[in-house]
Amino acid sequence: MRPRVFLVDDHQLFRSGVRAELGDGVEIVGEADEVAAAIELIRERVPDVVLVDVHMPDGGGQAVIEAVGSTNPDVRFLALSVSDAAEDVIGVIRAGARGYVTKTISGPELTDAICRVAEGDAVFSPRLAGFVLDAFASDPQAAGGAAPSFDPEIDQLTPREREVLRFIARGYAYKEVARELSISVKTVESHVSAVLRKLQLTSRHQLTHWATERRLL
Amino acid sequence: MLGGVAGGLSARLGIDAVVIRAVFVLLIAGGGTGFAVYVLAWLLVPREGEGSSIARRVVADRRAVSTALAVGSVLAVVLIVVSALGLNFAAGLIWPVSLGMAGLVFVWHGAQDDEKVLLQELVGQRPIAEMGKGGRLLVLRVVVGGILVIGGLVALIAAGHATVGAVRAILAASIVLLGFLVVFGPWWLRLARELIVERRERVRAEERADMAAHIHDSVLQTLALIQRSSGDPGEVRRLARVQERELRAWLFEDRPPGAFDDETVATLGEGVSAIAALVEERHHVDVEVVVVGDCPLDDDLRALLAAGKEAVVNAAKFSGAPVVSVFAEVEDPRVTLFVRDRGVGFDPSQVADDRRGIAESIRARLARHGGTAEIRSTIGQGTEVELTLPRGKATR
C-alpha cells in the first residue's frame, strides 16, 4: 500500500524537491504553501500522512496539526524542519506530530519515515532523540520535584526507552538498534511510540521551559 | 588696549583676555617691566586678520629670533649681575630699555624684505627652530615666556633688597610660573595630544595588520584555490561556501573559524558543533550532531574533544560514508562522546602500530586524562568510536 501524502511547505523549491525525491514510493495527493489553504485541502482530501514544515507564517506546522487533528484524528503528521530549534520541534510533537525529521534527510529515508508514520509508528531523528533525552533529564529531583501533577508513568523514561533513544541519537537506524539490543524492530517501535506518547502527554512544565531555553542549540 | 596684545594672547593661549590684561597690569605695577614685555609682545604677536604683520615676518626670520634670544640671555645675565649688586633702579631701567632695543632689532629685520630673504639663506639650524612645525609659534612663546621668566627672576632677586619684598616676591614667583607655563604649557598639551593620536594610530595599524593577515589566510587563499580548481564547479562551490561560513563567523560572531580548542569555545556543546563545522568544511561530509546536556570545558574535556575530533576526521577521511553521526551526552558521573559512521569499517586488530591517529591521538590522549576509548568496527558496516571521560569534581 502506498501511503497518500500531502505536502505543506511555503517554499516551492522544497516541495518540488521532496516530490522528486519521494518518487514512486508514495502517492502525493496535494500540496499547500500556507496554513489556511493547507487545513482546507487536507480536510477535503484526507491523506494518510501530511508532511508539514515547522516554520511557516500564521502559526506554522503546529497550527495545521492542531486544526486538522481536531476534525480528522486519523490524519498523521510528520514534521520537517531545517531549524532544529528545540521549542519548535517539541511544539509540533506536542501538537500531535508522529515524528520529526530534518530537511537534510535522504529520499529513501524520508520514504521510510513516511511509511512508518502511516502505520502509526513514531519517527525519531537523532536530533529529536537528543531533545527528548535532554528534556527528560535523568535527574529525578529536577524532573519531578517541582511538578505539581508528577506522574511517573508518563513523566519519566524507562531505562530501556532511554537506551533506545541513546542509540537513535548515536545515529542508529531502528533495525540496528534492534540488533544491538537483541530485540525485534517492532519492540523498538513500541518503545519509541511510548516515548512519543509521553512527550505529548507529559505535564512537566519544565518541558516547555527547557525547550525555550534551548532555543539556540 | 594699545596693541591688542592681550586679546591676541587670549586667542592663542585660550586664556581670557581679562586675565592676561590683569597680568600685564600687575607686571607693570610690579616693577615697570611689564611695559617692556607688552611692547615686545606687541611686536611679536601676529595681529588678527593680518597675515603679514611685522611680528610674523620677523618671527619667520630665524636669525632675528636667535639674535633676540642672544640679546635676551645677555640681558638676563647683565640684569642678574646688576641686581645682585643691589642696583635695583638699574634693573628697573635697563631691562625694559634693552628689550625695547631687541624689539627694534626685530622690527628692523621684519621691515627689510630683501635682507630677510638673504638672511634666511644664511640661517643655520637653530635648536629651537628645529623643534617642530609649530616652530614659529614656539619661538614666539619662548621669547614671551623667557621674558616673563627673566622678569620674574629679576623681580625675585630684587625683592631681596626691597622694603615691599613680600609682595614683590609673590608677584615675581607668579611671573616665573606664568613664564614657564607660556613656554612649556602648549608644548605639554601638544605632547599629550600627540601621544593619544599616536596610540590611536598604532591600534588602528594593528587592527589593519590583523585584518590583512586574516584576509590573506582565508579569502586570498580561497581565491587562489578557486582559480586552481576552476574546472570543477562542485569544488568551487564548496570552497565558496566554506569561505562564506568562515567570513560570516569572523565578521558577525567574532569567532575565529574552526578553532575548537580556542578560548572562544566555552562549552562541550559548542566544541562539538565547532568540530562538526570544521570537518564538514574540510572533508565534504555531513556531520550530524546531537548533544544532550552541556557543561563548561576544562582541560580534560578539551582532551576529549581533541580525541573526538580525531575520530570524526578519521571517519570522514577513511569510512567513505556521506554522514558521520556525533552524539555527546553529559551526565553527572561522566561525559560520553560517540562518533559513528556507516562506512567501510575496518578490523581494529589489523591496524598497524604506526598509525598514530587511533593509538596516540585517541587512546593515549584520553588515557592521560583518565578516560577510555572503545572502537567497534565491522567491515562493510561501519565504525563507532566511544569516548568516555569521568567527570572530575571541578566540572560537575
pLDDT tens-digit profile of A41-91? 999 999 999 999 888 888 788 889 989 988 888 899 999 886 666 777 888
Q: Within 10 Å of residue B243's Cβ, how many Cβ atoms?
A: 19
Angle between helices A159-169 and A185-201 (to 10 degrees): 100
Of the candidates B94, B100, B96, B99, the residue with the CA atom closest to the CA atom of residue B81: B94
A175, A159 contact by CB (below 8 A): no
> According to CATH, where is 1.10.10.10 located in chain A?
123-217
Handedness of CA B60, B61, B65, B68 (dihedral sign): negative
A123-217 CATH: 1.10.10.10
The percent of residues in chain A predicted with pLDDT above 90, rounded, is 21
Contact B327 A130 (CB under 8 A): yes
B392, B360 contact by CB (below 8 A): no
- Would you call B93 an interface residue with chain A, using a CB distance cutoff of 8 Å? no
CA distance A125 to chain B (A): 10
Q: Which three cell numbers stand for residue A126?
A: 537523532
CA distance B256 to B262: 8
The ranges of chain B with pLDDT < 70 are 1-17, 24-138, 153, 155-172, 217, 245, 248-249, 251-264, 351-357, 359, 393-396
Does the pLDDT at position A125 exceed 80?
yes
Q: Give B268-294 pLDDT, tens digit per residue.
A: 888 888 888 888 877 878 888 888 888
B70, B80 contact by CB (below 8 A): no
The pTM score is 0.54
Nearest by CB: B290 against A127, A138, A139: A127
> According to CATH, where is 3.40.50.2300 located in chain A?
1-120
Q: Name every residue whose Cβ is closer than 8 Å to that of residue B233 and which is 6 or more positions away in sequence.
A: none
Contact A129 B290 (CB under 8 A): yes
Q: Name every residue whose Cβ is closer than 8 Å to that of residue B359 and which is 6 or more positions away in sequence.
A: B353
A89, A108 contact by CB (below 8 A): no
Residues in chain A: 217
Q: Residue A25 carries which side chain, given as an amino acid letter?
A: G
Q: Which three cell numbers stand for residue B181?
A: 607655563
Distances (CA, A) of A171 to A83, A125, B180: 19, 8, 81
User: Which chain A residues contact residue B290 at CB under 8 A?
Assistant: 126-127, 129-130, 169-170
Residues of A with CB under 8 A from a CB of B: 104, 126-127, 129-130, 133-134, 137-139, 166, 169-172, 217
User: Which residues pair with residue A102 across a beta bridge?
Assistant: A81
CATH class of A1-120: alpha beta
- Would you call B292 an interface residue with chain A, using a CB distance cutoff of 8 Å? yes
Q: Give A7-52 pLDDT, tens digit per residue.
A: 998 888 788 888 888 878 888 999 998 888 999 999 999 999 999 9
Strands B286-292 and A123-124 turn out to be unpaired
B258-395 CATH: 3.30.565.10
CA distance B328 to B268: 8
Contact B327 A126 (CB under 8 A): yes
Q: Which three cell numbers stand for residue A25?
A: 514510493
Q: Which residue has the cell 595630544?
A: B193
Domain coordinates in residue numbering, chain B: 5-198, 258-395
